[in-house]
Structure 1
Amino acid sequence: MSRSIKSYKTLHCKLDKATADKLDEYVEKTKMSKTATVEKALELLFERDFKSKE
C-alpha cells in the first residue's frame, strides 16, 4: 500500500549550533527524519501554547 502524498511548504531556517547538535542527536537516537522531528516538535508547541490561551 502506498503512502498518501501530503501537501507541504518548504521551511528554511538557521539554528543555533547547540540546538542543531541536539536535533542531530535526537534524529540519530530515534531514527526519525529531521522533517518529522521538527513537525512533531512544532505540533507539540502549538498544542501547548494554543490550549493554554483558550
Structure 2
Amino acid sequence: MAVTRLKRKERVNKVVAKQRTASLKLHNKRVMVKSPYKDESGIILDSIPELDN
C-alpha cells in the first residue's frame, strides 16, 4: 500500500512542478514594445488643445 501511495505522490509532485515552471515562465516573460516617440522630444503634439485650433 505504501508503494502505491508513493507513486501517487510522485505523480502529483510532477504535475505541480510542471505547473509551477509553466507559471514562472509565463510571469518572467517580458514583452518589449518600442516607444513610438523615442526619437522625439517627449511631447505628444496631438494632445495639446492650443495647437488644434
Shorter-chain TM-score bucket reads 0.3 to 0.5
Which has the larger Rg? 2
Higher relative contact order (CA 8 A, sep 6+): 1
TM-score w.r.t. the length of structure 1 is 0.40
TM-score w.r.t. the length of structure 2 is 0.40
